[in-house]
Chains A and B, each alone.
Chain A
């Protein structure tokens, strides 16, 4: 099935640094979601975006719904060790079915 392309695939950052990752699609989506998955757990919803151009924050996280509706980005400010994990974007078209991105693995160096 279709997958969304996420970049980078993985990243090593220093604690305290800001992080940026993005997600692109060849298809238009009506909703963009960002999830974080820790080892042995299911994905946890971080941010949901419903309108093209929308910019939404959740604590140190900020995400934007691209104006073309084919992309989204997620920023994490002042990263901390518990930010380690895999971040997935997901897009929904006209229905409720989600298409997931390929994932960005974040590793934080103390």
Chain B
């Protein structure tokens, strides 16, 4: 299994600002994904991070709000732009060759 780390682990941000979350995998992986998990809820896929090309977004999520980069096979970033309190959530990255493994998450609170 892949070991996945995320930075920051948590943050408290002001409304209208942006936060970039980093995801690092300890080995090359085919696929990387970003999920959102609102308090007490299940996981919802935001987008697939494609290496060297634009991410593929799920319904309800757009690139302007959640720009994603994936410059290589071990690293990806998710930016939460122009934040509002509704963006308070846990953001999780995952990586997959065969099975999908998850990072520890970034707990974001927007005031």
Contact = CB atoms under 8 A, between A and B. Distances in A.
**A interface, size bucket:** 20 to 34
A33 B103 CA distance: 17
A43 B107 CA distance: 14
Contacts of A41: 104-105
Residue among A1, A35, A42, A101 with the most chain B CB within 10 A? A42
Interface in B55-108: 58-60, 92, 94, 96, 99-105, 107
B92 A33 contact: no
B31 A100 contact: no
A45 B107 CA distance: 20
Interface string A90-109: 10000011111111000000
A21 to B, nearest CB: 14
B99 A45 contact: yes
A42 B100 CA distance: 12
A28 interface: no
A67 interface: no
A33 B45 contact: no
B58 A102 contact: no
Interface of A: 1, 3, 33, 35, 40-45, 48, 88, 90, 96-103
